[in-house]
Amino acid sequence: MSRTLRQWLLGGASGAESAVKQWCASEGLVLKLTHERDGFVIEPAREGLPLRIEWGPSQRPYLSGMELRLRSETGIAPHVYGALMPQALLEALERALFEQSTGTVQTRFDGEMPEEMRWLAMGERLDATQLGPLRGDFAGVANQSAWMAEWLAGPTGDALHGWAQAELQRLAATARKPGSREKPAPLGWALLVHRGRLVWRQSLATPDVAAIASARQAFQAALLGARGFASQPISSQMGASQINASQLDLSQQDLASRQGPASDPPAED
């Protein structure tokens, strides 16, 4: 159990706990500890509001420590997939994927590898124009990039850009606290569309109510935009039902064409 959560259970972090509980009450939400008692879940107090918020140990190897998760149904066809994340993080995942391919002619994907990592090899990378207000700092991949570009071109892109700027300021302020010698943490975050759901994943060491509220606001804007595609047919050359991690092979040449020379230095944050 994390020290932060232990403090919550023992009352040592009553101020933070009280703030989150008060926020939940004001928003018509209910706070519950998970069955494993290693995090919590925030759910609507009444039916009809499907947004679910979770905080607990990270479920992804590319996000360390504790993780904030938000998820909801979009109504988008289940074969559609897409991922948006900071450019530095996506490039790091591409390098990790490439490194797994070295030394063999063919790479068989690990069944435990997060699906969004496999999308990097199979999907279409969004170009700078398609990223709209997020270009330069973020990168995206999808099985059909046109719908994702349209999604990000509107209020969704503006909301995510505003959230990211505010979050980077929060991380910088945390690093400037008296006694802290840490550098501002990079933005650990991913927004995923998969199997009809929108999922937000964010590194969050402590359950800061301002960070949770800010993420929820940006997520709701992205969710509203995504639901605009629920009634639209989105074609796909490769649906999710066709992807079998235990059977899919990827050649080194395909990975190299995406990654570039193995000696390329890591991208700067």
Task: Encode the chain (269 residues) as per-residue pLDDT tens digits.
Answer: 556 566 555 555 556 677 888 899 999 899 988 877 788 999 887 765 689 999 999 999 999 999 999 999 999 999 999 999 999 999 999 988 887 766 454 444 555 678 898 899 889 999 999 999 999 999 999 998 999 999 999 899 999 999 999 999 988 888 877 766 667 778 999 999 999 999 999 999 888 899 999 999 999 999 999 999 887 767 644 333 333 333 333 333 443 444 443 333 333 33
Q: Residue 5 carries which side chain, given as an amino acid letter?
A: L
Tokens standing for 86? 């900071």
What is the full DSSP assignment across 194-220?
ETTEEEEEEE-SS--HHHHHHHHHHHH
What are the backbone angles phi and psi of residue 101, rounded to the nearest 5°? Answer: -90, -15
Residues whose CB falls within 8 Å of the CB of residue 93, separated by 6 or more in sequence, listed in order: 62, 116, 117, 120
Contact (Cβ atoms closer than 8 angstroms) between residue 159 and residue 221:
yes
- Statement: the pTM of the whole predicted model exceeds 0.75: yes
